[in-house]
Structure 1
C-alpha cells in the first residue's frame, strides 16, 4: 500500500505537534496491545503509521479522527502535556495509588533522562524493580536491578550500592541462581563493613547473605552471621529483630537443632503483633508452618495451627504469591497427615500458576508430587523424577534442597530388580 497522507489542507491549530503526538499514539496503541498492522487495518499503511509514531510525519485532522476511532478514544486524547522531568515522573509514580500504571511513563522518562540526573534515575529504577518484583516478573526485575547496581556504583554512594545489591541478590535467589546471589550478597556485606551505612542496611545485608548461605549448605557461616544479626538487632524496635529470630531459627533447623529452632521461632511469633505489620505477621506464620514441617519429628499439629491462624489474613491481604505459598503448605500438611487426596487436590490447584512460586518452592512442590506417586506404588516413575529434581537442585547449587531430595530417594521403597 502506498504511503498515505490524507487531508493535506488540515487546520494546523487543531493538530498536536510532533514528536509528542507520535509518542502519545504509540503509548495508546501499546496500552491496548495492538500491533501497528492491527491498528491501521487497511485504512493506512504501516509505514505511514511508523513515521507518525517516530515523529517524522505530522498528522492530519482526518488521520487523528480515524486513529481515535480505532483506538476507542476521543480525538483530544492525543493532546500531550508538556514533557515532564524525570523527577516529576518519579514523584508521581512513588505517590500514585496504583504505581503499576506508571511503568510506561517511568520507562520513557528514563530513556529521555539527562545523564546528570543520576539520583532521579536511581529512584526510577528502584521503583521499576519494586513493581516487577511485586508482579512476580522476576526476569524483568533482574534486568532492572543490574542497571540499578551499575548506576549505584557510578554514583558511588555506599548506601545505594548496598541496597541495590541486596535486592539483586534476593532476585537471583528467587530465580534459583544461588551462586550469583551469594557473590552479590558478599559484595553487599563487604561494602557494609567498609563504609558507615545505617544499621538497618547492615542488618538487611546479613539477612540476605544468611538465606543464601543456608541454601548453599554453608551452615557454619550462616550460623555465625545469624548470631551477628541477632546481636546487631537485639536492642532495636520494629520488625528487624523478628526477622533476625526467624532467620536464626531457619539456620538451626538446617543444622538439625530443632529444639533451639522451635524456641527461636516462638520468640519471633510472640514478638510481632498483627497490628504492627500484618503482611510480615502473615509471612512469619507461613514460614513457621514450613519450618515445622521440616523438623524431625515433624511438628504437624503446630503447622496446622499456624495455617489455621493465618488463613483469614491470606484472604484479606495476601498477594497471589502468599496464596500460592499457603496452598503449597496446605498440600504438604495434608500429605504429612496422610490425607493424600487432599494433598493431590491442593497440588493440582497449584499447577496453573506454580510459576509464581520461587525456584525453591517449585522444587518442593515437585518433590511432594513424587512423594505422592511413591505412596501410590509408582516407584519407578517417582524415583526417576526425583533423581532429575535432585540434579536440578544441585546444578542450582541449592545443596540443602538437593540433600532433602536425596534423603527422600534413600528412604523410598524401591521396586525389586526384574
Structure 2
C-alpha cells in the first residue's frame, strides 16, 4: 500500500521534529535529505519499502504512518502516544518542550532546524488555547528569520504580533514588539516607521518601574531621532536616558545608551558632549565579550575627537589603527564605509590629498546596506571630501546621491543639508567652497 499524501508527509515531519532529528538523519545512507523534504511537503509518494524504513527510524510502526486515520501523537513525552486522555497541562508541557528545543537549536547554531521546528508548532498547534506559549513561538521565529536574512518573513510575523489581541492586552508585550519593530525598521531602511514604533515603545516603557526596559526603548528612540533630525526631542530623551544609567543596568545596554546618545550629539554638532558620551560608552565595554561594540566605540570616539579639536588628530588616528583590523575581520559594510569616510577626513586634515581621495573612492565603491538613511548620510560626508579636494563634478554627483538616499530613507533633515551644500557648491563655481 502506497502512502497517502500530504497527510503522510505531515506525520513524518512532525514525528521527526519531535524526535529532534534533521532531515539528513532521517534519510540515512539510503535516501537524501532533499528526498525526505519532498516526502514531507507532499511532493513525493514513497514506496512501501521507503515508508517502512522511515517508520523504523522514527520508532513507530509502518501502519501508524500509512493509515490516513492515525494522527500524529499529541505533544508529550517523546515516543509516547498521549493523544488519548491528554490534558491541557500535557499539551502545554509538550509545547514548551518543543519551544525550548528550538531555542537550544538556535543557541547551538542550527537556526534552520530551530525555524523548522517552530514552524511545525504553528502548523499543527497554531490554534491552541495556550496563547502565551504560541506568542513566544512566533516571537522566536521572527527573530530567527531576521538573523537569517529572511526579512520579509520576519516583518510579517512582527506585524501580526503587533495586531494580536494577546500582545495588546499587555503593555510589556506591546512595548517589546514595538521596540523590536523600531529596531527592525531602522536596520532595514524604514526610518519613518522606526521613529513611530520607537516613540510607542518609549511611551509604554518610560512610566513603568522597569528601568532596563526604559533604557532599551529610550536607546532606540534616540537613534531614530538622531537620523530623522528631531534634535531637541532626541536630546531630551538622551538626557533622561543617561540619567537612568547605573551599574544595575547590564553593561551592553549601558554602552548602547551612551553610544546612541553620543551619536545624536555628533549628528547635531555638539561634539564635546559626543566625545564625553562616546568615552563613557567605551568604558562600559569589555572587548573580550563584545569586540564589535568595542571597535564601534573606538571609531566613533575618534570621529568626535577629530571634530572637537585638530590637536586630537593623532589620538584619533591611533584609535582608528586599533579599530581597523577588527572592523576588517568582521566585514560589516556599514562599518567599513564609516571608517573610510573618517580616514578620508583625517587625511584631508593632514594634507594627504591622494589618500583622502582613495578613502572617498572606497566609500563610494563600497555599495549600500539596508539602512538607507545611514548610507545617505555617509555619502553626504563623502561628498564633502570631494568638495574639499576641488573635484566639483564628482562632489556634485555624490551630493545628489546623498540627497536621494536620505529622502528615500526618510532622513529629511540630512536631505536638506545635502541639497543646500550642493547649491552652495554650484553657486561658488569651484570645489573649494
Query: TM range, normalised to the smaller chain?
Result: 0.7 to 0.9
Question: Does residue 394 of the first structure (1) align with residue 383 of the second (2)?
Answer: no
CA distance in 1, matches of 2:4, 2:401: 60
**Aligned residue in 2 for 1:61:** 48
Q: Find the aligned partners of 1:304 and 1:152 in 2 and give their Cα distance.
A: 53
State which of 92, 112, 115 in structure 1 corresponds to 2:124: 112
**Contact 1:370/1:385, CA 8 A, preserved across alignment:** yes
Q: Could you say what secondary structure the match of 1:236 adopts?
A: coil
For the pair 1:262 / 2:262, whether they are aligned, the reply is: no
Asked whether the 8 Å contact 2:225–2:233 carries over to 1, the reply is: yes
Question: Is the 1:166–1:208 contact (alpha carbons within 8 Å) kept by the matching residues of 2?
Answer: yes
Could you tell me how far 1:167 is from its partner in structure 2? 0.6
Please give the alpha-carbon distance, in whole angstroms, between the structure 2 residues aligned to 1:373 and 1:247. 28
Inter-CA distance 264–171: structure 2 relative to 1 (3 Å threshold) = same
**Equivalent residues in 2 for 1:88-237, closer than 5 Å:** 88-96=97-105, 97-101=108-112, 102-115=114-127, 116-151=129-164, 153-154=166-167, 156-193=169-206, 196=208, 198-234=210-246, 236-237=248-249
CA positional deviation for 1:266: 1.7
Superimposed CA distance per residue, residues 319-367 of structure 1 (whole angstroms, 9 cap, x where no aligned partner): x5xx32332133213422131464266447634xx43x52233224544
Q: Deviation of residue 165 (structure 1)?
A: 0.8
1:15-46 residue CA offsets vs partner (Å, 9 max, x unmatched): 799624357589969xxxxxxxxx89xxxxxx
| Aligned twin of 2:54 | 76
Q: 1:153 and 1:185, CA in 2 relative to 1: closer, same or farther beyond 3 A?
A: farther
Displacement of 1:199 after TM fit? 1.3
Tell me the TM-score normalized by structure 2: 0.70
* SS state at 1:305 partner: helix
SS of the residue 1:159 aligns to: helix
Distance apart, 1:385 and its partner CA: 5.0
Q: State the distance in 2 between where 1:348 and 1:383 align.
A: 13
> 1:248: Cα distance to partner?
2.6
Cα displacement (A) at 1:157: 2.4
TM-score for both structures, normalised by structure 1: 0.72
The Cα shift of 1:171 comes to 1.2
| Structure 2 gap segments, 5+ residues each | 15-21, 25-33, 60-71, 76-93, 348-352
Once the two structures are superposed, residues 265-290 of structure 1 have per-residue CA deviations (whole angstroms, 9 ceiling, x without a partner) of: 22322343324544433343344345
| Corresponding residue SS for 1:330 | helix
Partner of 1:343: 359
Offset of residue 397 of structure 1: 2.9
**In 2, Cα distance between the equivalents of 1:106 and 1:170?**
23
Counterpart Cα distance in 2 of 1:312 and 1:369: 22
- Give the aligned CA root-mean-square deviation in angstroms: 4.1
Q: CA deviation at 1:384?
A: 4.6
Determine the structure 2 residue equivalent to 1:45: none
In structure 1, the residue matched to 2:80 is none
Deviates most, 94-103 or 335-344: 335-344
- Where in structure 1 are there 5+ consecutive unaligned residues? 1-9, 30-38, 41-48, 66-73
1:307 corresponds to: 320
C-alpha distance in 2 between matches for 1:61 and 1:109: 28
Shift of the 365–247 alpha-carbon distance from structure 1 to 2, 3 Å rule, reads: closer
Deviates more, 1:380-389 or 1:249-258: 380-389
CA distance in 1, matches of 2:143, 2:408: 28
Supply the distance in 1 between the matched residues of 2:309 and 2:376 (Cα, whole angstroms): 20
Q: How many residues align?
A: 371
The answer for the alignment partner of 1:244 in structure 2 is 257
Which range moves more in the overlay, 242-251 or 400-409?
400-409
